[in-house]
Amino acid sequence: MSCEHELNLDFAKVGQAVPEFKMETFDPAEGFFGEVDLGQLRRDGKWVILFFYPADFTFVCPTELADLAEKHQALKDLGAEVISVSTDTKFSHMAWRREEKLLENVQYTMAADPTGEVSRFFDVYDEETGLALRGTFVINPEGVLASSEINFYNVGRNADELVRKLEANVHLRANPNEVCPAKWTPGEKTLTPGEGMVGHVWEALNG
């Protein structure tokens, strides 16, 4: 991995800019090794989803990556580049993708973070095991971290909720004066905060 700006000292924080960095990758769609460049994705106007998981050839992880693969097209349609990340090498990614049947529909980029530098920056690195916790991070096209979620090893994630959160973030980027209430999905009412709404959110949602 190489960095345009060093990923040191501070952790990634929601609402703050993420430094540009690069990681080596395996591209299942093409069958080739390559590199992902966060700076280039930013210049391309992409949302970026970083999906950290503990390790290749494990147990919960392939179920998560298969679930994410089912939602990959929906996330792409929203303008996102999906990148799974673990501390394994790109060679391990390639072998795992080839051997594990649950991964046969995975077409998104699989990035390698063998030094743990990126995992440390996103505060998912476990120093005792050398593995990454289950972290999901959404970075907007301006390079700002819009969403952060970290789970322990033993609980898998739900890609449906990731799609919903990205839908909400895409809507709010286009409508910055609005906010999305709990369980919001496209087409439902949003809220526009103001003095008149204080203590009257029910009326705003049901009026």
Catalytic position from the list 61, 106, 139, 163: 61
Residue 117 pLDDT grade (very low, low, confident, very high; cuts 50, 70, 90): very high
**Which of the residue ranges 10-14, 103-107, 166-170, 190-194 would you say has the lowest mean pLDDT?**
10-14
Is pLDDT at 3 greater than 80 in this prediction?
no
Distance CA 91, CA 110 (A): 10
Strand 80-86 to 2-3 pairing: unpaired
Tell me the whole-structure pTM to 2 decimals: 0.94
Same-domain pairing of 137 and 194: no
Same-domain pairing of 155 and 199: no
Same-domain pairing of 146 and 197: no
Distance CA 38, CA 42 (A): 6
pLDDT digits (tens, 9 = 90+) for 154-181: 999 999 999 999 999 999 999 999 999 9
Same-domain pairing of 139 and 73: yes
Distance CA 105, CA 109 (A): 12
Is position 180 annotated as part of the catalytic site? Answer: no
Buried b (16+ CB within 10 A) or exposed e, 52-61: bbbbbebebb
Q: Which domain holds residue 106?
A: 2-174
pLDDT digits (tens, 9 = 90+) for 48-82: 999 999 999 999 999 999 999 999 999 999 999 99
Tokens of 79: 């303008």
Same-domain pairing of 101 and 184: no
Angle between helices 159-174 and 60-70 (to 10 degrees): 40
Same-domain pairing of 108 and 161: yes
Same-domain pairing of 76 and 90: yes
Residue 207 pLDDT grade (very low, low, confident, very high; cuts 50, 70, 90): confident
How many domains are there within the chain? 2
